[in-house]
Amino acid sequence: MTKASDAHNAVLDQVDRLAERMVSSLADAIAVPSVNPKYPGQDYDKVVGAESDVSALLADLYAEAGAEVSTVTAEARRDNVCGRVPGTGGGRSLLLNGHVDVVPEGSRDKWHGDPFRALVTDDKVIGRGATDMKGGLVAAAYAALALRAAGVDLAGDLLLQGVVGEEVGDHEAGTTAMLEAGFTADAAIVCEPSGQAGTLPAVVPVTPGLLWFSISLTGKTAHSGLRGMTIHPTLEGDALGVNTVDKFWTVYQALRALEDEWARHNRHPLFPPGYFNLLPGVLQANPSGIFVPFFLADRLSVEYCVYHHPDRSNEEVIAEIEARVQDACKSDPWLREHPPVFEWKLLWPPYSLPDDAPLNAVVAGAHAIATGGADPLRAGFMGVCDLTWMNRKGLDGLVYGPGVGYTAHAENEYVEIAQLVQAAKTYALTAIDWCGLTDGA
Ligand SMILES: [Zn+2]
C-alpha cells in the first residue's frame, strides 16, 4: 500500500468517527442568526455582529485542527476568519472558503419551528443556513480535524476561511478583504452547496453571470372614466392619458422573447436548457402618490434578475437587453418619445475554471475514492459565488459542497448528513492529493 493510500484510509476513518460531532457543530452554527446585515429589509444595527460569532465558532475548530488563526475585519463587527494549517514545505497550497452570513428566514410560519434552532433527523439537518452554507463551512473544518486526528502532515498549506457579506455580493468586506490581507493559495474550493436531494455534491467549475436591474416607465395620468379615450388611438390616445401598466407589456414581451431565444440558442453543457433567464420579480405601478385604480397609472418600475451564459460578459448582455427593449419601444409612439430608463443595480460576472486545470481531476478523484469509485456529477452552479472575486485576485477554483440546492434561501432549508460526510471526506482527500504529503513522514 502506498503512503498516500494509507493517509486516505486513515482520514476516511476519522471523518466517519467525527461525523456525529460534525452534525452537532453544524447545529451550533445554525443557532447563530448570522443574517447579512445589509440584506434588504434588515435593521443593520440590530443584526450586525452575528457573522463574527460564526467566525469565532469556526476559529475554535480551526485551532483544534492545528491551524494558526487570524481575523480580518474590513467593516466593524463583521469578522472574517482564516485558519492556516502550515505545510512542511514543497507542496501546493489549498483554500477551502465559505460564507458565514445567511439570508433572512422568510415566512416563519412555513418552518418546522424556529429556523435558527436546528432540527436533526436521521438523515438531515434542517435550519436556516444548513445548506447555504454552514454545512460546507463545518465540513471543511472537520476535514482539517480528520487530517489532524489521522496524523497526516501536508507538504503545502491548507487554508480554511469563513467570510462575511456574500449574500449581497459584498465581497470587499469578505473574500476580497481576506485575499488582500494575504490569505490566498494556489487553488480554492468554494464550499457552497453543489448537491441536490438524494445526490452527493457535484463538481461545479462554472458559475453564470448575474445582473439585477430596474426599468422605469413614465405615463400620463387621467381619470379612470377616460380610459376608453386613451387606449384607442383613433380617439384621444396619448394626448389625453397614458397608462404605464399597458405600456409595460411591450417591455415584458421583448424580454420574454429574448429569454426564449436564450433557451433555444444559448446553451451550455453544464446547465439545463432554459436556465439562462430574465425574471421580472418586482413590479410596481400606480398613479403618482396614490394606490387606488381610479386614475391611469403614470409611473411603473419593474425589477429583473438575470442569469446569463458564462461565456458572455456582463457588458455584452447589458447591451443586448437595452437594445431589445429600445427596439421594441420604437413601434410605440409614446415609448419612442418617453423611453424606458434603466438602472443597473448589481453586476456579478460569470466564472469558468478551464477544463484542463489540475484541480478538476484532483477533486473528482478524491470524490471517487470516498464513494468507493463513483465519479462525481459535473454541473453549473445554480447561483453565483465568491469564485468570481477570487478570480479577480488571481485565484482559481471550483465549487463543491454539501447541500440541497433548491432549499437554499427557502423555508425548511436542509442539508443531508450523507452529503456533509462526503464533502468532509472529499476535502480531506483533496488536501492530501493537492498539497502532497511530507517526505519521510
Ligand atoms: Zn451561499
Along the 441 residues of the chain, how does pLDDT read in single tens digits? Answer: 468 999 999 999 999 999 999 999 999 999 999 999 999 999 999 999 999 999 999 999 999 999 999 999 999 999 999 999 999 999 999 999 999 999 999 999 999 899 999 999 999 999 999 999 999 999 999 999 999 999 999 999 999 999 999 999 899 999 999 999 999 999 999 999 999 999 999 999 999 999 999 999 999 999 999 999 999 878 899 999 999 999 999 999 999 999 999 999 999 999 999 999 999 999 999 999 999 999 999 999 999 999 999 999 999 999 999 999 999 999 999 999 999 999 999 999 999 999 999 999 999 999 999 999 999 999 999 999 999 999 999 999 999 999 999 999 999 999 999 999 999 999 999 999 999 998 754
Alpha carbon separation from 28 to 15, 52, 134 (Å, rounded): 19, 14, 10
- CA 70 to CA 62: how far, in whole Å? 10
Q: Is there a cis peptide before residue 133, judged by omega within 30 degrees of 0?
A: yes
Q: Which CATH superfamily is domain 3-207+350-435 in?
A: Zn peptidases (3.40.630.10)
- CATH 3.40.630.10 in the chain: give the residue spans: 3-207+350-435
Ligand 1 midpoint to CA 73 (Å)? 20
Distance 334 CA to ligand 1 centre (A): 43
Rounded to the nearest whole angstrom, what is the distance from the C-alpha of residue 371 to the centroid of ligand 1?
25
Is 424 in contact with 146 (CB distance < 8 Å)?
yes
Backbone angles phi, psi at 16, to 5 degrees: -60, -40
Q: Give, in order, the Cα–Cα distances in Å from 256 to each of 250, 251, 262, 354, 364.
A: 10, 9, 10, 32, 38
Grid cell in block for residue 85: 494549517
Using alpha carbons, select from 299, 301, 344 the residue that is nearest to residue 322. 344
**CA atoms of 170 and 209, how far apart (whole Å):** 16
From-to residues of CATH 3.30.70.360 in the chain? 209-348
Q: How far is ligand 1, taken at its centre, from the CA of residue 98, in Å?
A: 8
| Cell numbers standing for residue 346 | 448589481
Query: How far is ligand 1, taken at its centre, from the CA of residue 102, in Å?
Result: 7
56: its cell numbers: 469565532
The alpha carbon of 57 and the centre of ligand 1 are apart by a number of angstroms equal to 18
Residue 310: how many other CB atoms lie within 10 Å: 21
**Dist CA 364 CA 351 (whole Å):** 19
What are the residue ranges of helices labelled H in 311-394?
A: 314-329, 333-337, 358-371, 387-392
Contacts of 137 (CB under 8 A, 6+ apart): 29, 54, 58, 98, 99, 100, 162, 191
pLDDT at 440: 55
User: How many angstroms does the Cα of residue 230 sit away from the middle of ligand 1?
Assistant: 48
| Chosen CATH of 209-348 out of 3.30.70.360, 3.30.1490.20, 3.30.70.20, 3.10.520.10 | 3.30.70.360
Which residues are part of the catalytic machinery? Answer: 101, 166
pTM: 0.92
Distance 185 CA to ligand 1 centre (A): 21
Residues 6+ apart with CB under 8 A from 132: 102, 103, 192, 193, 403, 408, 409, 413
Give how far Cα 89 sits from Cα of 152, 160, 245, Å. Answer: 14, 18, 65
**Beta-strand relationship, 158-163 and 94-99:** parallel
Q: Measured in angstroms, how far is the CA atom of residue 340 from the centroid of ligand 1? A: 33
Could you tell me if 429 and 364 are in contact, meaning their C-beta atoms sit under 8 angstroms apart? no
* Contact yes or no for 79/162 (Cβ under 8 A): no
Q: How many CB atoms lie within 10 A of CB 43?
A: 8
Looking at residue 204, its pLDDT comes to 98
